[in-house]
Structure 1
Amino acid sequence: MLQIDRWKRILIIGICVLGLAYAMPNLFYERVEAHNDAVATIEKTGVSTPELEAAESDWPGWLPSGLVNLGLDLRGGAHLLAEVQVSEVYKSRLDALWPDLRRALAEERATIGTNHKLESQDGLLKIEIGNPDQMARAIEIVRGFSDPVTSLTGAGQSSLDISGDGKVMTVQLSEAEKAVTDDRTIQQSLEIIRRRVDEVGTREPTIMRQGSDRILIQVPGIGSAEELKSLIGTTAKLTFNPVAGIGSDPDAQVDPGQVVLPDSKKEGVYYTIEEAPVVTGEELTDALPSTDQNGLPAVDFRFNPTGARKFGAYTAANIHQPFAIVLDDEVISAPEIQQAITTGSGMISGSMTFDEANELAILLRAGALPAELTFLEERTVGPELGQDSIDAGKIASMVGFIAVIVLMVLSYGMFGVFASIALAINMGLIFGVLSMIGATLTLPGIAGIVLTIGMAVDANVLVFERIREELKTARGPARAIELGYEKAMSAIVDANITTLIIAAILFVLGSGPVKGFAVTLTIGIVTSVFTALWVTRLMTVTWFERARPRQIEV
């Protein structure tokens, strides 16, 4: 019997209405986008201006407001491929380890003699001891600072490789520890870059690892690659170091463990500082732009409990001594400690504009990159080129849509009209799902949609051809239509499952644009099967119940 239960009819119509409702905001893209930006700004800042209120009220709050985000090739923006200099982390690890090693070796000076650090290449720590006969004891002391490697491949290995030759002991990270450090450095860089980009408020950036030490960054809507580089390329490595002296000679002789750094604003001024910091930017919990007591731009910062304790102890013990605030190997401020700072908060002030203060606050709040980035590839995609791509995609979609409709109507008459209406609903459902999940649409994604237009009627063709065959043998048109849908089901399911498998492989193994193609293709397959099997069937049943034809032509 050709019929569909009432609850099924309600469910089919409800799914279509819901999908089209979520797709509708894309017809008013700029208006809804301005509404969403205004809502996000008001929620983030807590400040509402007349312009923001006007943009917020320009779209009803009770309607869906999700949009299909446009990718870099459609919206324009910046593309960067960066290489992380992981070897810098090895040097930082060993430099941070040296003060503890020096104290531990000094405690047994009577046995192993005096010790001092030798000049060595990056990634190596060379220590000369006074008594070479006690090298084994010195190695044993240093080995006490080695930890087990925390990875499956490095299980049972130590974090340090230690060797001795005469008076010189060489310390370096083991290969297993280097592998773990590399992976941790890349993951940390990814997270920090993502936080910095998110602070600017861009939509749907693509930030992903490529290879062993590279990161791909694509940010739609940003002005240029240079602007993106200035935001994420700065290491923003902040440290607070004791000052040993101030002078004008960049090549001044310094004691071991000290380094000469320039003043970031005053030419010819150089600070000799202790290389080991008292606290670092990693112990910061927040940083906000503000003004100092003279109304000039500044940045307020706050430490976590550990950093606050160390900062308070040092300032209490060094009142009236200068204290250097170092950002990326430049002294940005060197105030004199007037009193103990035990609150865990402070201020960075100096010759900076309000924009520079805001950018510095963003960098500090997002955290310091663990290593420098070297940009291997950079590209800016203009918004005009993106608009051209959108226009070309619209034309391709419309041409494909009209051609399919003409073919279906000429081939199947009234049933072709049903298939064409279902195809239009299918397109709406695709954009509705993309809007609900917040997907990003790229040129390959548009290709997936255009391909879906052609594939969407395949299931209808199978059903209609099956109905044609059944009309020759079945008793009456109702039975022919029912058998047509039933017998075409297995072929439709088999054909679409194989396509879904291919789409899954593309998604798992492909890069960003290929993933976009796979996502739109997968959504298109699911919605096209739904519209072909249920939406066209509902329209056919409804028409048949009203018209009650004695004969039908397909």
Structure 2
Amino acid sequence: MLNFPLWKKLMVGVVLVWSVLAALPNVLTPAQMENMPSFMPSKTINLGLDLQGGAHLVLQVDMETALKQSYEKMEDDVRAALRDRSSGTRINYRGLRSNTETGIHFTVLNPADVPTVKEKLHSALTGVFVLNEGTNIAVAYTPEELTKMRKHALEQTLEILRMRVDEFGVSEPLIQRQGDDRVIIELPGVTDVSRAKDIIGRTAQLTFHLVDESARAGHRLPAGTGVFYELIKDEAGTVLDKVPYFLVKRPALTGENLNNASSAFDQYGNPVVSITFDSRGTRKFGDMTKENVGRRMAIVLDGNVYSAPVLREPILGGKAQISGNFTVTEANDLSTVLRAGALPAPISIIEERTVGPSLGADSIEAGRIAVVYGFIAVLILMAIFYGGFGMAANVALLFNVALILSVMTFLGATLTLPGIAGIVLTIGMAVDANVLIFERIREETQRGLSPMLAIDTGFRSAFLTILDANITTLIAAVVMFGMGSGPIKGFALTLSVGILASMFTAILVTRWQILAWLMRARPKTLKA
């Protein structure tokens, strides 16, 4: 146990030098870092929401609307299947409607057509069951398909929100699911929370609808036609008026084939959003405009009309512009959400917490004071109770803190206020191993063993106890990290790194120092 080979000394030395260099940027000011050599690490620990300020949002995905949209799309598929005359049979029906609770319902006029209808629907649709009671037909998703759809909607929402947050330029955001229909988002360092909420929470459903010129206000609307509005706003964003448009409900084209969106300026210098379709979207857009030259086409975003120009000629290049009295910031934000894609369902903010930068600075200062005071108290007590051995433990403790900071910096971990508490706890736990070793050395010395045998026995006998104690704590920390979220994860990560670092410094660094002193001084006795 007293043998400390050269390779082990080199390994410990390399780790300690690396830990000091990697931890150094976290305690130096930016001006001091500029004067450091270029080979020096410059990466620092990311600060969490509670330390640098920002926004904490809990979003809820409207699964009912997602289901409603799926049934509306299924309506079109059902109509297309019933119009299909490949079987040679014309299917006459009436009263086709849908709702999210019971699915799609309609009545077949000829009872003899019921088996054919069921066969057509089974071949055209997947993940549904088709039931009939006489000539009344019901089509609904199976429970397995509903579960799959909800899971897919949440996963797609997470992916799109990540892209939107990345476009927004937030450093080290937290985006994670909570339960079956909620998403937690933390945006450290964000100051304009209202703009962030607008970008994150926008559904961004882009659709193109033909204007129904036959519809008139005050008259019954033709089947398949609905009323949409263009919102007239002032410079402050206040809605001054609503202009109605009668549009064909079924969109002629959607934004799912959008390839890019960017802010630009029109010929009059007004901000607009330029959109470009992919190859499939370009073809569909060209066909749609070619077939409807002379008609008006409305550009609709999230249910609101932005413009409704007349199609003077076919648009074959796959490009279009969205205008709508935008500011430059609004045009940039709209292009951001369009590039990220539309959410599969609307989301609502059900919880919001904002931490100001000043409060974060206060938290950092309070955490720094706690770490420093706790550190100094431990250093003093170890020196008083264990003398020279205590000073060796104090040196190991310094390296322990440097090792924690360097590993967390290397991993790109986020330091939170509970994480600082984990560091303070680790400082106390780090010397606990040394206390066990030193007390065992003291016992062996009182039994009359020589200094070399007492130190050897102390390290060997305490090793298993230290290992058991740290493994049990590490297991608890891993469970907290796996099952917890947010602050719990921060505490668990810091605690886990601290436990591993304390075992390294207590067993190797302290032992190296004591053995070096023992070989150099060769004392006859140890003070018990």
Are residue 190 (structure 1) and residue 163 (structure 2) matched?
no
SS of residue in 2 equivalent to 1:244: coil
CA contact under 8 A between 1:263 and 1:331: conserved in structure 2?
Answer: yes
- Cα distance between partner residues in 1 of 2:527 and 2:214: 96
- Cα distance between partner residues in 2 of 1:60 and 1:95: 63
SS of residue in 1 equivalent to 2:212: strand
SS of residue in 1 equivalent to 2:232: coil
CA contact under 8 A between 2:261 and 2:274: conserved in structure 1?
Answer: yes
> 172, 175, 179: which one pairs with 1:204?
172
Are residue 261 (structure 1) and residue 261 (structure 2) matched?
no
Q: CA deviation at 1:90?
A: 1.5
Are residue 513 (structure 1) and residue 487 (structure 2) matched?
yes
CA contact under 8 A between 1:297 and 1:354: conserved in structure 2?
Answer: yes
Amino acid in the other structure paired with 1:141: K
CA contact under 8 A between 2:397 and 2:427: conserved in structure 1?
Answer: yes
> RMSD between aligned alpha carbons?
2.5
- Cα distance between partner residues in 1 of 2:254 and 2:26: 46
**Residues 244-259 of structure 1: pairs in structure 2 closer than 5 A:** 244-245=212-213, 249=217, 253-259=220-226
Are residue 89 (structure 1) and residue 72 (structure 2) matched?
no
Q: CA deviation at 1:141?
A: 1.5
Q: CA deviation at 1:356?
A: 0.5
Q: Hey, what does 2:515 align to over in structure 1?
A: 541
- Cα distance between partner residues in 1 of 2:401 and 2:227: 64
SS of residue in 2 equivalent to 1:378: strand
Amino acid in the other structure paired with 2:156: Q
- Cα distance between partner residues in 2 of 1:457 and 1:258: 76
Q: Hey, what does 1:115 align to over in structure 2?
A: 93
Q: Hey, what does 1:17 align to over in structure 2?
A: 17
Are residue 72 (structure 1) and residue 49 (structure 2) matched?
yes
Q: Hey, what does 1:495 align to over in structure 2?
A: 469
Q: Hey, what does 1:219 align to over in structure 2?
A: 187
> 399, 403, 416: which one pairs with 1:429?
403
CA deviation string 1:335-361 (max 9, x = no partner): 233333333333223311110110001
**Residues 472-483 of structure 1: pairs in structure 2 closer than 5 A:** 472=446, 476-483=450-457
- Cα distance between partner residues in 2 of 1:231 and 1:306: 27
User: Structure 1's 225 and 174: CA in aligned 2 closer, same or farther, altered over 3 A?
Assistant: farther
- Cα distance between partner residues in 1 of 2:93 and 2:382: 88
- Cα distance between partner residues in 2 of 1:264 and 1:502: 56
Q: CA deviation at 1:216?
A: 1.7
- Cα distance between partner residues in 2 of 1:282 and 1:318: 21
SS of residue in 2 equivalent to 1:413: helix
- TM-score w.r.t. length of structure 2: 0.91
Amino acid in the other structure paired with 2:221: V
CA deviation string 1:85-104 (max 9, x = no partner): 11111221122232332233
User: Structure 1's 22 and 269: CA in aligned 2 closer, same or farther, altered over 3 A?
Assistant: same
Q: Hey, what does 1:179 align to over in structure 2?
A: 147
Q: CA deviation at 1:432?
A: 0.8
SS of residue in 2 equivalent to 1:402: helix
CA contact under 8 A between 1:418 and 1:539: conserved in structure 2?
Answer: yes
CA deviation string 1:361-393 (max 9, x = no partner): 111111111111122222212222222222221
User: Structure 1's 31 and 181: CA in aligned 2 closer, same or farther, altered over 3 A?
Assistant: farther
- Cα distance between partner residues in 2 of 1:84 and 1:374: 7
Q: CA deviation at 1:19?
A: 1.4
**Residues 312-461 of structure 1: pairs in structure 2 closer than 5 A:** 312-461=286-435
SS of residue in 2 equivalent to 1:183: helix
Amino acid in the other structure paired with 1:315: T
Deviates further, 471-480 or 188-197: 471-480
CA contact under 8 A between 2:72 and 2:98: conserved in structure 1?
Answer: no
- Cα distance between partner residues in 2 of 1:408 and 1:333: 75
User: Structure 1's 529 and 388: CA in aligned 2 closer, same or farther, altered over 3 A?
Assistant: same
Deviates further, 336-345 or 505-514: 336-345
> 90, 97, 106: which one pairs with 1:127?
106
- Cα distance between partner residues in 2 of 1:259 and 1:62: 65
Q: CA deviation at 1:161?
A: 3.0
Q: CA deviation at 1:31?
A: 6.1
CA contact under 8 A between 1:102 and 1:115: conserved in structure 2?
Answer: no
Q: Hey, what does 1:150 align to over in structure 2?
A: none
CA contact under 8 A between 2:128 and 2:142: conserved in structure 1?
Answer: yes
Q: Hey, what does 1:231 align to over in structure 2?
A: 199
SS of residue in 2 equivalent to 1:239: strand
Deviates further, 353-362 or 510-519: 510-519
Gaps of 5+ in 1: 36-56, 148-158
Deviates further, 260-269 or 292-301: 260-269
Q: CA deviation at 1:420?
A: 0.8
**Residues 279-290 of structure 1: pairs in structure 2 closer than 5 A:** 279-290=253-264
SS of residue in 2 equivalent to 1:265: strand
User: Structure 1's 7 and 132: CA in aligned 2 closer, same or farther, altered over 3 A?
Assistant: same
CA contact under 8 A between 1:114 and 1:130: conserved in structure 2?
Answer: yes
CA contact under 8 A between 1:112 and 1:129: conserved in structure 2?
Answer: no
Q: CA deviation at 1:188?
A: 1.0
SS of residue in 1 equivalent to 2:124: coil
Q: CA deviation at 1:268?
A: 4.3
SS of residue in 1 equivalent to 2:106: strand
CA deviation string 1:38-76 (max 9, x = no partner): xxxxxxxxxxxxxxxxxxx68765322222112122222
Q: Hey, what does 1:278 align to over in structure 2?
A: 252
Q: Hey, what does 1:50 align to over in structure 2?
A: none
CA contact under 8 A between 1:279 and 1:311: conserved in structure 2?
Answer: yes
CA contact under 8 A between 1:73 and 1:386: conserved in structure 2?
Answer: yes
Q: Hey, what does 2:236 align to over in structure 1?
A: none
Q: CA deviation at 1:2?
A: 3.7
- Cα distance between partner residues in 2 of 1:297 and 1:477: 82
Q: CA deviation at 1:28?
A: 3.3
User: Structure 1's 31 and 183: CA in aligned 2 closer, same or farther, altered over 3 A?
Assistant: farther
Amino acid in the other structure paired with 1:265: I
CA deviation string 1:274-298 (max 9, x = no partner): 2222332222122121222333212
- Cα distance between partner residues in 2 of 1:231 and 1:195: 11
Q: CA deviation at 1:499?
A: 0.8
SS of residue in 2 equivalent to 1:80: strand
- TM-score w.r.t. length of structure 1: 0.87
CA contact under 8 A between 1:247 and 1:271: conserved in structure 2?
Answer: no
Q: Hey, what does 1:294 align to over in structure 2?
A: 268
Deviates further, 216-225 or 412-421: 216-225
Amino acid in the other structure paired with 2:93: N
Q: CA deviation at 1:453?
A: 0.8
Amino acid in the other structure paired with 2:26: N
CA deviation string 1:191-221 (max 9, x = no partner): 1112211211112222221122122222221
Amino acid in the other structure paired with 1:552: L
